[in-house]
Amino acid sequence: MLYRISLIILSIIFISCSEIDTSVEKKQKNPLKTNAKQHDFALVIHGGAGYLSPKNDADKEHNALKTTMDSLLIMGKTMLEKGGEAIDVVTKVITIMEDDPRFNAGKGAVFANNGKNELDASIMHGKDLNAGAVAGVTNIKHPILAAKEVMTSSRHVFMAGQGAEQFAEEQGLTLVDNKYFFTQNKFERLEKAKKQSSKSSMRSDYLPDEKYGTVGCVALDKKGNIVAGTSTGGLTNKQYNRIGDSPVIGAGTYADNRTCGVSCTGVGEFFIRYAVAHEMSSQYRYTDKTIQEIGDDIINKTLKDINADGGLIALDKYGNVAMPFNTTAMLRGYINEEEKVVALFH
Ligand code: ASP
């Protein structure tokens, strides 16, 4: 008798669970999503959101940046086409960008209010949700490689300051003097920001002429693995030891093979508060919306409504791309088997 009753109870539980599952599936009817085009691989890169005037589009500087994005995309495509791993593509792309003084990452990092450069980076692997991040580091030449080491060679996810630097050294990464990160134009930007800071509001954390900067990359490889990474010097004139969204998993970076990979750029405080990168993944998982619809909602409605400047790049598990931003410009590009796009303005 007892056996029969248990069987009946178990069947009831089983039936109600299946009903819950079916109803979730029923909601996912958007043909754009369920029949989403499959790409063998895909790669998307950003060089930061900011304020640039479209009338300067012809500027040599802008064209040179686009050419750089173009060659990074082609390099990444070559790796992915040959079966290269998303993790290697993301670290390679970001390392090159960290060496380029035009970007606000690595060599070209902006200055904190104490006249020093403090760098943040993170990376996440969508296969097992493993992740690594470093924050406030002052002497690691390639913070993205330190983030990767935290992910692959430590039992931690997030390391900051001296501990992160010591760990990077132990892993054999290249250390540099903080002066290595000095660039004249970024220093001038600090001086300008200090003069303006008395009138500071959240929004003016991004100077009216604040340019491209932070870098990010998301790759989907042929095995279906999604990896996302972000690297930055943060915001010009930030309080020293301030940490933005870029190294915060779920805020500036997120990757999950079941949903999507995301790298954000913008005024980090908002991206942390709204857990933007993870929000992208959650909405993709639990709603019927496409990656473009979700990105657009978050960046151009939720964040825009509160004057939160920024943008993001994302790839869903099928290789569909989203690159929304609510500033005047965001340097960005993506590539897959059949298409390549590089753009700066809307
Ligand atoms: N999100 C970065 C930060 O707040 C800055 C940026 O993307 O430009 O540190």
- Ligand 1 within 6 A of 47 CB? no
- Tokens standing for residue 297: 């909602």
pLDDT at 210: 62
- Ligand 1 within 6 A of 309 CB? no
Pick the atom of ligand 1 nearest to 268's CA.
4
- Ligand 1 within 6 A of 108 CB? no
Q: Which residues contact 24 (CB under 8 A, 6 or more apart)?
A: 286
Residue 199 confidence (pLDDT) above 60: no
Query: If you count DSSP H runs as helices and E runs as strands, how many of each does the chain have, helices first?
Result: 11, 12
pLDDT at 212: 61
- Ligand 1 within 6 A of 265 CB? yes
pLDDT at 299: 98
Q: Give residue 233 CA to ligand 1 midpoint distance, Å.
A: 8
**Spatial separation of the C-alpha atoms in residues 31 and 70, rounded to whole Å:** 31
Length of the chain: 346
The CA-based dihedral angle spanning residues 81, 30, 217, 213, taken in that order and rounded to the nearest 10 degrees: 140
- Tokens standing for residue 153: 């060679």
- Tokens standing for residue 270: 């908002």
Residue 24 confidence (pLDDT) above 50: no
**Spatial separation of the C-alpha atoms in residues 63 and 168, rounded to whole Å:** 35
The CATH code that applies to domain 39-345 is 3.60.20.30
DSSP single-letter state for residue 306: T
**Spatial separation of the C-alpha atoms in residues 58 and 270, rounded to whole Å:** 32
pLDDT at 198: 55
The answer to whether 226 and 126 have CB atoms below 8 angstroms apart is: yes
Mean pLDDT of 256-265: 98
Q: Give residue 321 CA to ligand 1 midpoint distance, Å.
A: 21
- Ligand 1 within 6 A of 231 CB? no
Nearest CA-CA partner of 48 in 345, 338, 329 = 329
pLDDT at 196: 81
Nearest CA-CA partner of 150 in 166, 128, 127, 174 = 166
Q: How deeply is 156 buried, as exposed, middle or buried, from its count of CB atoms within 10 A (0-12, 13-18, 19+)? A: middle
Residue owning tokens 């790759």: 219
Q: Where are the domains positioned within the chain?
A: 1-35, 39-345
- Ligand 1 within 6 A of 183 CB? no
Q: Please report, as a single letter, which amino acid is at residue 110.
A: V
pLDDT in tens, 153-178: 999 999 999 999 999 999 999 999 99
Residue 307, sorted as left (phi over 0), alpha (psi -120 to 50) or beta, turns out to be left
Nearest CA-CA partner of 147 in 126, 179, 129, 173 = 173
Provide the β-strand partners of residue 275: none
**Spatial separation of the C-alpha atoms in residues 53 and 37, rounded to whole Å:** 35
- Tokens standing for residue 145: 């490689």
Q: Give residue 318 CA to ligand 1 midpoint distance, Å.
A: 28
**Spatial separation of the C-alpha atoms in residues 272 and 78, rounded to whole Å:** 34
pLDDT at 25: 41
Q: Ligand 1 pocket: which of 209, 267, 272 to mutate (most atoms <8 Å of CB)?
A: 267
Residue 207 confidence (pLDDT) above 70: no
Q: Give residue 268 CA to ligand 1 midpoint distance, Å.
A: 5
Q: Give residue 162 CA to ligand 1 midpoint distance, Å.
A: 21
pLDDT at 23: 43
User: What's the pLDDT band for 211 if we cut at 50, 70, 90?
Assistant: low
Q: Tell me which residue has its CA closest to atom 7 in ligand 1.
A: 265
Range in 24-38, 57-71, 157-171, 213-227 with the lowest mean pLDDT: 24-38
**Spatial separation of the C-alpha atoms in residues 13 and 10, rounded to whole Å:** 5
**Spatial separation of the C-alpha atoms in residues 322 and 283, rounded to whole Å:** 14
Residue 34 confidence (pLDDT) above 80: no
Range in 202-216, 231-245, 275-289, 309-323 with the lowest mean pLDDT: 202-216
Mean pLDDT of 175-192: 96
Residue 21 confidence (pLDDT) above 80: no
- What stretches of 215-290 adopt beta strand conformation (E)? 215-220, 226-232, 253-255, 260-266
- Ligand 1 within 6 A of 213 CB? yes
**Spatial separation of the C-alpha atoms in residues 231 and 106, rounded to whole Å:** 8
User: What's the pLDDT band for 38 if we cut at 50, 70, 90?
Assistant: confident
**Spatial separation of the C-alpha atoms in residues 72 and 37, rounded to whole Å:** 24
- Ligand 1 within 6 A of 312 CB? no
User: What's the pLDDT band for 16 if we cut at 50, 70, 90?
Assistant: very low
- Ligand 1 within 6 A of 232 CB? yes
Q: Give residue 212 CA to ligand 1 midpoint distance, Å.
A: 10
Catalytic one among 95, 138, 214, 253? Answer: 214
Pick the atom of ligand 1 nearest to 242's CA.
9
User: What's the pLDDT band for 53 if we cut at 50, 70, 90?
Assistant: confident
Percent of the chain residues topping a pLDDT of 70 = 84
pLDDT in tens, 120-154: 999 999 999 999 999 999 999 999 999 999 999 99
Pick the atom of ligand 1 nearest to 269's CA.
4
pLDDT in tens, 268-282: 999 999 999 999 999
Residue 32, sorted as left (phi over 0), alpha (psi -120 to 50) or beta, turns out to be alpha
Task: Answer yes or no: 214 catalytic.
Answer: yes
User: What's the pLDDT band for 77 if we cut at 50, 70, 90?
Assistant: very high
| Residue predicted with more confidence, 79 or 197 | 79
Q: Which residues contact 10 (CB under 8 A, 6 or more apart)?
A: none
